[in-house]
Structure 1
Amino acid sequence: MGRPPEVFVRPVTMSEGQRLQRIGRTSKDPVKLRRAIVVLMSAQGQSVPDIAHLLDCSPEYVRGVIHDFNDMGFDALNPKWSGGRPKTISEAVRRHIRLIARCCPRDLGLPFSTWSLSKLAEHLVASGVVASISRESIRQILRAGGITWQATKTWKASNDPDFITKMRRVLELYDDPPDDGRVVCADEFGPLNLQPRPGNAWRRSGHPVRLRATYNRRGGVRHMLAALDLASGKMIYRIRERKRSGEFLSFLKVLRARWPGEKLYLILDNFSPHKHPDVTSWAAGHDIELVFLPTYASWLNWIESEFAALRYFALSGTDHRSHTEQGEAIAAYVRWRNARAQPKRDFAPESTIRTWTGYMTNVA
């Protein structure tokens, strides 16, 4: 059997040669680049075996590229991907699979409340949606439809019939503090018990921080009563063993002494000690207006975000062995924070709560 006849590209013009060189310098597509080099080397008179040896490919591949270029010109350089095997599951069936995945299995008469990929595949086959399907195929179908595995979370709507009125009152105090006084947000933070607290830290890969485990916590708990002054952005707090009406009333007296001669607009949640007769009567007699939030709407209290920061920066990743040690850590953080405090303005300026005219009430 003799050698195959030599194959070369047709004669190329000067502009075609320049174009091939430009593709060889700039193409980011490896297939197009490889084919352009084959054509350019053949145009320079190199044989098929030499090109195949230099490019580490088969002579059949080189001959195929040359024949394609001779037939189609530069269109032969662009890779033509076939797209793989045709889909065996139609788009309508894929939509139906995504719909079933979003349903609760109990609604379909099955004795479980959530899907696994195996259970979903078994149900699809048993119900005649598909003849057969793998878990990976289901995963790809769901991902392509924007359906991901997510944790179920709870939410609670306010059942306060005066929600809108109370919310607007709080927002008015935030947006336009009265000239005759000072707006202060108050709440309790805790319980502060002695326990290792998980947190995050920069560490070398594979060397995480380890904290002890606790089985018995005999140190008792403490509670932090805190207030946020919106005019200065500073926090005032006291740590007490209890958070009854007596402790809260004592904290009110601390706030009253801090700003003598000014009316205080104190924004509070509906915790029962805040509404104790001793508290309300004393506040009324000492120029303190208690502004209560709607029920189940503690997110309207501006101090909640400060508590989240305190928990993250002062307590996360710690393992305090005494309340004195823990209290010193909190005190150090609050001093650091107050030294950098700025007046509080623009509460949730882009939130949809600014445009609410109604609210879901009496949610079961």
Structure 2
Amino acid sequence: MLVAPAVPVVLTASERRRLKKTAYGHKTPYQARQRATIVLLAARGRSNTRIAAQTRMHVDTVRTWRLRFAAGGLPALADRKRSGRPPSFTPLQVAEVKALACQLPAETGTPLSRWSCPELAREVVARAIAPAMSASTVRRWLKADAIKPWQYRSWIFIRDPDFQAKATRVLDLYAPTFDGEPLGEDEYVISSDEKTSIQARCRCHPTLPPGQARAMRVNHEYQRGGALAYLAAYDVHRAKVFGRCEPKTGIVPFMNLVTQVMTTEPYTSARRVFWIVDNGSSHRGQKAIDRLTTAFPNAVMVHTPSTPPGRTRSRSSSPSSNARSSNPTTSRT
């Protein structure tokens, strides 16, 4: 019985170069390497039977990729698109799940503060949107539109009646201008704040230095040294920080920080030094302004807009960040 001759394969220089790179590449997928090898051997005029014996593949496989390359070139060596498994959910169900994730749980009667993927999957089944759904499916759909209902960002409503005037004054100093006039070379802007309840920890054993293929080792055991308050003053336009630790906050610790800054040059001989502070108890109101001016006549206290008690900062939160402590700790070794 006569056997039909194999389809001849002719390669250009660029095709041969690319096929060799695919066939002998160390990171080439196995299937792509086998297909490139078949075509290279076919270009040498070898028969399908000989190629099959050399590559240890079935002759039908060799014949298939030889024919496909002869008909379509290098692009024909890639896998053809397949229809795949039919979708389990309709586009309407996907839209309903995303719409549910964009609603507050309280609006749906669910006793939750925030949605999570498992809770959304259970709610989808409870609402008969779908007979069954996994949390991973919900997570994949929400990721496509960057929807993250488990994260939140808090903010504070403006309650200070003079918010615009106070905020404008502070922002102008950062510009730097004051009352519409640019600040001079002998005028400075200091931003001050306080951090309370910082735990001072003393390690029970000394820290071991790093070495070759060895990280620095810090002993886990420590002794508590109490809680300290850290007061800092930041020169806004010269990027210089002044800081000190105090047993607690108050008028005296704050004035110690002011004295530390104002008794050093160039602030001692400056024309004006603007101190931007919040409305903490140690520097609140007109009495604090008078106290600062009496001690240092060239110091000018500027208050930021007042905020509701107990809420002074806005932040974004996620399940992973909730587990972190909000108070940093210092350690001494």
Please indicate, yes or no, whether the TM-score normalized by the shorter chain is above 0.5: yes
Equivalence for 2:332: 320
Of the three residues 299, 304, 310, the one matched with 1:293 is 304
In structure 2, distance between residues paired with 1:36 and 1:117: 44
The 3-state SS of whatever aligns with 1:186 is: strand
Superposed displacement of residue 82, structure 1? 0.9
**1:9 counterpart residue number:** 6
- The aligned residue for residue 271 of structure 1 is 280
Number of the residue aligned with 2:58: 58
Residue equivalent to 1:175:
175
User: Structure 1's 140 and 222: CA in aligned 2 closer, same or farther, altered over 3 A?
Assistant: closer
Where 1:195 maps in the other structure, the secondary structure is strand
Stretches of structure 2 lacking an aligned partner (at least 5 in a row): 178-182, 204-208, 314-326
Partners in 2 of 1:146 and 1:37 — Cα distance?
A: 43
| Residue 21 of structure 1: aligned partner | 16
Distance 1:144 1:261 in 2: 56
TM-score by length of 1: 0.64
Deviations 1:163-187 (A, max 9, x none): 2222221222222363363322223
Contact 2:48 2:63 in 1 (8 A): yes
CA distance in 1, matches of 2:237, 2:143: 49
Instruction: Write out per-residue CA displacement over residues 340-362 of structure 1, whole angstroms, 9 at most, x where no aligned residue.
Output: xxxxxxxxxxxxxxxxxxxxxxx
> Structure 1, residues 324-346: CA drift from partner, whole Å, max 9, x if none?
xxxxxxxxxxxxxxxxxxxxxxx
The structure where strand makes up a greater share of residues is: 2
More helix by share: 1
Residues 7 and 67, structure 2, Cα contact 8 Å, conserved in 1: no
**Count, aligned residues:** 294
User: Hey, what does 1:79 align to over in structure 2?
Assistant: 79
Match of 1:99 in 2: 99
Deviations 1:95-126 (A, max 9, x none): 22222233334432334444454443343234
* Alignment match of 1:223 (pick from 220, 225, 229): 229
Asked whether the 8 Å contact 2:192–2:231 carries over to 1, the reply is: yes
Instruction: Confirm whether residue 188 of structure 1 aligns to residue 194 of structure 2.
Output: yes
1:41 aligns with 2:41: yes
Where relative contact order (Cα < 8 A, 6+ residues apart) is larger, the structure is: 1
Q: 1:173 to 1:87 in 2, by over 3 A?
A: same
Contact 2:233 2:257 in 1 (8 A): no
% identity of equivalent residues = 25
Q: Secondary structure at the match of 1:194?
A: strand
Q: Is the 8 A contact 2:69 2:76 kept in 1?
A: yes
Residues 41 and 227 from structure 1, CA distance in 2 versus in 1: closer, same or farther, beyond 3 angstroms?
closer
Rounded Cα–Cα distance in structure 2 between residues aligned with 1:10 and 1:116: 59
User: How far, CA to CA, are the matches of 1:17 and 1:50 in structure 2?
Assistant: 23
Q: Quick one: distance in 2 between partners of 1:261 and 1:19?
A: 74
More deviation in 86-95 or 131-140? Answer: 131-140
